[in-house]
Amino acid sequence: MRSYRNRYLLETGAANPNARTLDTPAEDIGEMMKMVIAHEIGHALGLPHNMKASAAYPVDSLRSASFTKKYGIATTIMDYARYNYVAQPGDEGVRFVRQIGPYDHYSINWGYRLVPGVTTAESEKPTLDKWIREKVDDPRYQFGSGFGGEDPDSQTESIGDNAIQASSYGLANLKKITPNLIEWTTKDSKDYTDLSELYGELISVWNRYIGHVVTNVGGIHNEIKMADQEGPMFTSVPAARQKEAMQFLNQHVFATPTWLLDEEILRRIESNGALERIRNLQSRWMRSLMSTRRIQRMMESAAFGNKNAYSPMEMCQSLRRGIWTEIYTNQPIDIYRRNLQRAYLDHVKSLLNPPKSSGTASRFSFGPPTTPLSQSDVWPMIKAELKTLDKDLKKAIPRMGDQMSRYHLEDARDRIADLLNTDNW
Ligand SMILES: [Zn+2]
């Protein structure tokens, strides 16, 4: 109940006046509990999670009162699609809480309807298959387990058919609720415990919105098919969408999210810690983008000559420009960005010096095998990137107006020299 209350405030509070309090109206919390119970009853009736159900609805439909009231925010209650975080202030009458949808009627019909005249499970099958066939081309009746972390349409806690758009709306809402967080979470003669809890949850919500976008980079759509259906089951996310995801991440993650650093809030809940928190958040997503598995997935997509492929080189170049922006624009580099830039060099170092056990195809690891890093294109690509970066750093240092930025960039050059001069290769 506490978690539902907190997330209701954070995810819908900008557009939903009812959510701007920790004393959530009983009617609203009741509606949420009703939906949690419906979800659990779904499990009791044999329904698994369907994380693809929320990707059936266009993001902008989630801003429509008539659409959301009729169809909900995902096609099934079995998705992890809790709240409508897309709805914006002024979207009147929109539904904010999930509800049972068309996929639930479809799956319960398939599982439970009595087929007249059948006597065995086997003789029921042609009818059941026919019901599936009737819906194969309708996005409302697709299934995705959400496992694997590769398919941007099949993610937990996301809604809508375009994560970049949906997360942009979600972030716009978070930015509006943050300056109100103190007012909405504190009471006279009480302390700031709730504010502290909500700030922690705010970071979690931010992380989820960002994660939904990251999945698009090197993402693979998975459409479950019967053998007599046309086409492949696995296709790469279009390059244009991947590129757009990188722009989003450069803008909302690697450019310091200063709005999260609300001094009014932070100096009521902690004496320090914000620097490290931001460094952690940024470096987590930078490492995720430059992970062996993602890069090798992108390399394989390119290896098939897929015109749609977004090359890992282009991704690394975009990331370099997003993380080292100041050296291309001659701006002073603040401490958050210096931390991020060092985290980048640190991660590159770990790619070039992987622990002996990692990067090899272990039969105990999940997912498809990955090529050992020293045997893949990852090293040549990373080394080329480092050499380019070093050249750009060299040009940038004399143009830097402030001393700390110059010291930092000189240190970065030393680190790169160390990385490129190891005896490891
Ligand atoms: Zn569940």
pLDDT tens per residue, range 333-366: 999 999 999 999 999 999 998 877 654 544 455 6
Computed over every residue of the chain, the mean pLDDT equals: 94
Whether residue 206 is predicted with pLDDT greater than 90 in this model: the reply is: yes
Share of the chain above pLDDT 70, in %: 96
CA atoms within 13 A on the CB side of 325: 16
- One domain, residues 294 and 349: no
- pLDDT, tens digit (0-9, with 9 covering 90-100), for 389-410: 999 999 999 999 999 999 999 9
157 alpha carbon to ligand 1 midpoint, in Å?
Answer: 12
* Average pLDDT rounded to a whole number, residues 310-322: 96
Question: Which amino acid type is present at position 170?
Answer: G
37 alpha carbon to ligand 1 midpoint, in Å?
Answer: 10
When divided into structural domains, the chain yields a total of 2
Supply 50's token pair: 């369907």
36 alpha carbon to ligand 1 midpoint, in Å?
Answer: 9
pTM of the model: 0.95
Domain-ending residue, one of 285, 308, 323: 323
46 alpha carbon to ligand 1 midpoint, in Å?
Answer: 11
- One domain, residues 221 and 314: yes
* Average pLDDT rounded to a whole number, residues 181-199: 96
56 alpha carbon to ligand 1 midpoint, in Å?
Answer: 19
* Average pLDDT rounded to a whole number, residues 273-284: 97
- One domain, residues 291 and 329: no
40 alpha carbon to ligand 1 midpoint, in Å?
Answer: 6
288 alpha carbon to ligand 1 midpoint, in Å?
Answer: 26
- At 425, the pLDDT band (50, 70, 90 cuts) reads low
Q: Is the Cβ–Cβ distance between 347 and 286 less than 8 Å?
A: yes
Residue 365 has a pLDDT of: 55
- One domain, residues 43 and 183: yes
39 alpha carbon to ligand 1 midpoint, in Å?
Answer: 6
32 alpha carbon to ligand 1 midpoint, in Å?
Answer: 14
Whether residue 199 is predicted with pLDDT greater than 90 in this model: the reply is: yes
- One domain, residues 301 and 397: no
- One domain, residues 131 and 38: yes
146 alpha carbon to ligand 1 midpoint, in Å?
Answer: 12
- pLDDT, tens digit (0-9, with 9 covering 90-100), for 364-374: 556 778 888 88
155 alpha carbon to ligand 1 midpoint, in Å?
Answer: 14
43 alpha carbon to ligand 1 midpoint, in Å?
Answer: 7
- One domain, residues 273 and 342: no
Domain-ending residue, one of 323, 346, 376: 323
Pairing of strands 234-236, 220-222: antiparallel
Q: Is the Cβ–Cβ distance between 167 and 213 less than 8 Å?
A: yes
CB atoms within 10 A of CB 125: 12
3-state secondary structure string across the chain: CHHHHHHHHHHHCCCCHHHCCCCCCHHHHHHHHHHHHHHHHHHHCCCCCCCCHHHHCCHHHHHCHHHHHHHCCCCCCCCCCCECCCCCCCCCCCCCECCCCHHHHHHHHHHHCCCCCCCCHHHHHHHHHHHHHCCCCCHHHCCCCCCCCCCCCCCCCCCCCCHHHHHHHHHHHHHHHHHHHHHHHCCCCCCCHHHHHHHHHHHHHHHHHHHHHHCCCCCEEECCCCCCCCCCCEEECCHHHHHHHHHHHHHHHHCCCHHHCCHHHHHHHCCCCHHHHHHHHHHHHHHHHCCHHHHHHHHHHHHCCCCCCCCHHHHHHHHHHHHCHHHHHCCCCCHHHHHHHHHHHHHHHHHHCCCCCCCCCCCCCCCCCCCCHHHCCHHHHHHHHHHHHHHHHHHHHHHCCCHHHHHHHHHHHHHHHHHHCCCCC
The distance of Cα 362 from the centroid of its chain, to the nearest Å, equals: 27
- At 150, the pLDDT band (50, 70, 90 cuts) reads very high
- At 259, the pLDDT band (50, 70, 90 cuts) reads very high
Whether residue 375 is predicted with pLDDT greater than 80 in this model: the reply is: yes
417 alpha carbon to ligand 1 midpoint, in Å?
Answer: 51
164 alpha carbon to ligand 1 midpoint, in Å?
Answer: 25
β partners of residue 220 = 236
Q: Is the Cβ–Cβ distance between 150 and 222 less than 8 Å?
A: yes
- One domain, residues 178 and 306: yes
96 alpha carbon to ligand 1 midpoint, in Å?
Answer: 19
Whether residue 237 is predicted with pLDDT greater than 60 in this model: the reply is: yes
- One domain, residues 284 and 396: no
Whether residue 424 is predicted with pLDDT greater than 60 in this model: the reply is: no
Whether residue 62 is predicted with pLDDT greater than 90 in this model: the reply is: yes
Nearest to 53 by CA among 158, 169, 164: 158
- One domain, residues 332 and 276: no
- One domain, residues 250 and 335: no
Residue 148 has a pLDDT of: 85
Domain-ending residue, one of 323, 338, 369: 323
- One domain, residues 297 and 344: no
83 alpha carbon to ligand 1 midpoint, in Å?
Answer: 15
The parent domain of residue 330 ranges over 324-425
